Amino acid sequence: MGDGLPPMLVEMLGSGIEVLAWDDSPQSEALNRAVAFITYGHPRVDGPLMDRAPHLKIVSNHGVGVDHIDCDAARDRGIAVGNTPGCLDASTADMTLALMLAAARNVVIGDKFARSAQFTHYDPSTLIGFEVTGSTLGIVGLGRIGREVARRARAFDMRIVYHNRRRDEAAERELGVTYRSLPELLAESDFVTLNCPLTPETTNLIGAKEFALMKPTGILINVARGPVVNHDALLAALKSRRIAAAALDVTAPEPLPRDHPLLELDNLVITPHLGSASNRTRRRMMEMTVENLRAALNDAPLPWRVV
């Protein structure tokens, strides 16, 4: 079963696999027949749903984050869960830097102004942004993606601090980064990027108390998951200019309601979850999704297994 699978992914599955439309209705014949789920676009897969698919062998996730899948429930039922780690690290790190630059240098608001009737002459005092080169970057979550962000930030001569659950001395030696507690990181950083997974510990990790620690010129970038940031606190911090700006690739909920007040702010850059949306990355994600699925159907070890 798949949720609106793109033609390329269906083609990769091949003619030997029948693709059933995602259907979790009470009388779903598709659930009764399904031996595999492909989660494409983060549909919620919990224990009760798994119980309604008596032949289910695998949930093959198109992506790394599996917070929408109840992995404990899958483990209890002997259902494998696979994901696609590693292949999207570079593209997501690219997106992190793109959002940082867009927010710092007024790319979005500048584009709108350049297209408007108000732009009639060049004024050097218009839309003065924040320098990225030589600034301090704080990375929250120095995993695979966070490390790639650090590598790119070094090209901008940035001073890099990071926060993890555990200090990573190998990364410090390799990348020249410095460990900080979260409060220390927030206070020191000109830019804060969130590159951590969504867990109970990281839900609402950044709220009013954390925004109060940031510099008034600070910029927050979230390419992790929407619930890592408390959106009410973010709205208050941006409206009051407690922080200078933010850039979000993810929100909670996703998408935001069309009348959400965050969408009215000129110091917010927002994109529709594009972190891994590059041609080569998305193709590799599909390939890995299919490889996990085929392995489970052949009773072979998953190449990329979560549980």
For the domain that residue 264 is a member of, what is the CATH number? 3.40.50.720
> Same domain for 119 and 162?
yes
Judgement on whether residues 247 and 136 belong to the same structural domain of the protein: yes
155 and 288 part of one domain = no
Residue 172 near residue 164 (C-beta atoms within 8 A): no
Which of 52, 105, 152, 254 does the annotation list as catalytic? 254
Cα–Cα distance, 135 to 151 (Å, whole number): 15
**Quick check: is 302 in a domain?**
no
Residues 215 and 146 in one domain: yes
| Same-domain check for residues 98 and 78 | no
Closest alpha carbon to 191 in 161, 171, 166: 161
13-65 per-position pLDDT tens digit: 999 999 998 888 888 999 999 999 999 988 999 999 999 999 999 999 999 99
From the list 42, 180, 273, 294, the catalytic residue is 273
Q: How many C-beta neighbours within 10 Å does residue 301 have?
A: 9
Strand order of the β-sheet with 245-248 is 178-179, 159-163, 136-140, 191-194, 219-222, 245-248, 268-270
Cβ-contact 304, 60 below 8 angstroms: no
pLDDT(133) > 80: yes
Name the percent of the chain in helix, strand, coil, to the closest 5.
35, 15, 50
In a domain, 305, yes or no: no
Structure-token pair, residue 289: 């999704």
Q: Are residues 235 and 99 in the same domain?
A: yes
Query: Known catalytic residue: 121?
Result: no
- 25 and 169 within one domain: no
Structure tokens at 306: 């979560």
Q: Name the residue type at position 32.
A: N
Q: Which domain holds residue 284?
A: 7-87+278-297
Q: Which of 42, 147, 163, 225 is catalytic?
A: 225
Q: Are residues 179 and 80 in the same domain?
A: no
Residue 82 domain-assigned? yes
DSSP state for residue 228 in the 8-state scheme: G
Predicted TM-score (pTM) of this structure: 0.93
pLDDT at residue number 21 = 87
Q: How many domains would you assign to the chain?
A: 2
pLDDT, tens digit (0-9, with 9 covering 90-100), for 217-253: 999 999 999 999 999 999 999 999 999 999 999 999 9
177 in the same domain as 245 = yes
Give the mean pLDDT of 72-95: 98
Residues 79 and 159 in one domain: no
Place of tokens 């507690």: 181
Is 273 assigned a catalytic role? Answer: yes
Decide if 31 contacts 52 (C-beta within 8 A). yes
Q: Is 254 a catalytic residue?
A: yes
